[in-house]
Amino acid sequence: MTPLRQEMIRQLELKRLSPNTHDAYLRAVEGLAKYYSRSPEKITNREIQDYLHYLQVNRQLAWSSCNVAACGLMFLYSWVLRRESLRVDLPPRIRPKSLPEVLSQEEVRRLFDAVSNPKHRALLMTTYSAGLRVSEVVNLKKTDIDSDRMTIRVTQGKGKKDRLTILSKLLLHELRAYWRIVRPPEWLFPGSDTNKAMVRGSAQKIYYTAKKAAGIRRSGGIHTLRHSFATHMLEDGVDSSLIQVMMGHSYIGTTAKYLHVSQRHMKNVKSPLDTLLADQTDS
């Protein structure tokens, strides 16, 4: 490990940035160094801006990916190399207003039925039944499952907030069956090294494999299960403010977007045309 990388890791730790941010910023610096085949210390400000232009125009990366790269490089040059003259410019972000992808309840059943591995099945069921982010489900520990209160504790979720969400009776049965077979030492879903948590990429692969086996053609990764949880809860009549708490949303508006994809709510709404021409439709 180079002294520059060591110092960057030290500064990331001093700023108490999340492990995910650590990885993203280090990858950004690695990408820049590889592109120019030399140390970041010897790369000029103009070359840094040219590299970001390359990411946007030539590689056509998403705005969010370019922004992460820019933030990672700014961190290196501002806090590690102390290059105060650096300035990076990105075009303003245009946020597409797309609806979240959601599985039907029948598709969720097919997804679970397509998985025979107890660990993989338990992981997917936990993600869906508790509305968890992939980073949250892979970082669950055995002690986070409270069968007395029927809750799951999410430690340091998004925004570094702890919260409680529901523990399904069926999931508890599934987790106990899984535990009798695997008996994970600490992490509920350990990786290949049983002393470490599963990485998020592995959880994504588990979902994609199950989705393919179930013949589900909808787009989206494992986060689709979290979207499906919220939508199905709304369709079952659960109050949106309670769903907001369970999902860890800071704003109720974030939760309310699932009303737009709730089929059951749409089916219960009458078009004004049906009311206007009620006599004709009855005849």
The verdict on whether 109 is a catalytic residue reads no
CA 139 to chain CA centroid, Å, is 12
Q: Which of 142, 75, 83, 112 is nearest to 209 (CA)?
A: 112
- Select which of 133, 163, 211, 227 is catalytic: 133
Task: State the catalytic residue, choosing from 120, 211, 227, 249.
Answer: 249
- The amino acid occupying position 230 is A
Cβ atoms 257, 244 nearer than 8 A? no
Residues 126 and 178 sit within 8 Å (Cβ to Cβ) = no
53 is catalytic: no
State the number of CA atoms in the 13 A half-sphere of 239 facing the CB: 3
User: Can you give the C-alpha Rg of the chain in angstroms?
Assistant: 23
Q: Say which of 120, 121, 226, 232 is annotated catalytic.
A: 226
Catalytic residue selected from 158, 200, 205, 257: 158
Catalytic hit among 77, 178, 207, 258:
258
Burial class (CB in 10 A: 0-12, 13-18, 19+), 74: middle
Residue 232 known to be catalytic: no
Active site annotation includes 226: yes
Options 200, 205, 223, 257, the catalytic residue: 223
* Nearest residue to 137 (alpha-carbon basis) of 211, 210, 204, 193: 204
**Buried b or exposed e, range 9-33, using 16+ CB within 10 angstroms:** eebbeeeeeeeebbebbbebbeebb
133 is catalytic: yes
Q: Is 34 a catalytic site residue?
A: no
List active site positions: 133, 158, 223, 226, 249, 258
